[in-house]
Amino acid sequence: METHKSCSVFGTNNMVITDTIKERLRQVFIDLLEKNYRTFYFGGFSMFDDTCYKIICELKEQYPDIHRIFCVADPRWLRASKRPKWLNDETYEEIVYLDLDFDWWYQRIYFRNCEIINRSDFVVFYAPENNRSGAYKALKYAKSKKKDYIDLSAE
């Protein structure tokens, strides 16, 4: 039995989500699904992440074995009563906290992103070259780990 592959997404929050970007994302995800990618990791802090999530949810109707995992940035959010109101946990198959040794909020997000990338076989980015962007830092990390990826901002 073939093991399913995993994918994560990282993108900037300050972007305009056009129909062209949505269609390109849909095609990328369909291509990945055809190659047996079924686990998708989300962190949920950007418009890009939200757009990717919505597309994966739509594709789940055609590919019911998709497994959507939300990676919380704070371990308290594992308790339903402590989750942010914007986190609709009913639409994820799993909510996890990736254990980290860092306590400061920004560092926690960065190292959570690194751990998501470590667990991913492929990463979809929208990360324009900007050293202050968390998405761009995640892209640099993925490159350093020689991960397979696509950066839609470079197209």
pLDDT surpasses 60 at 77? yes
Please check whether residue 5 is in contact with residue 36, taking contact to mean a CB–CB distance below 8 angstroms: yes
pLDDT surpasses 60 at 12? yes
Sketch out the chain's domains with CATH numbers: 5-154 (3.40.50.450)
pLDDT surpasses 90 at 80? no
Please check whether residue 9 is in contact with residue 45, taking contact to mean a CB–CB distance below 8 angstroms: no
pLDDT band at 22 (very low <50, low <70, confident <90, very high): very high
Q: What are phi and psi of 89, to 5 degrees?
A: -70, -10
**Matching residue, tokens 């959010």:** 77
Burial pattern 82-96, b for ≥16 Cβ within 10 A else e, equals ebeeeeeeeebeebe
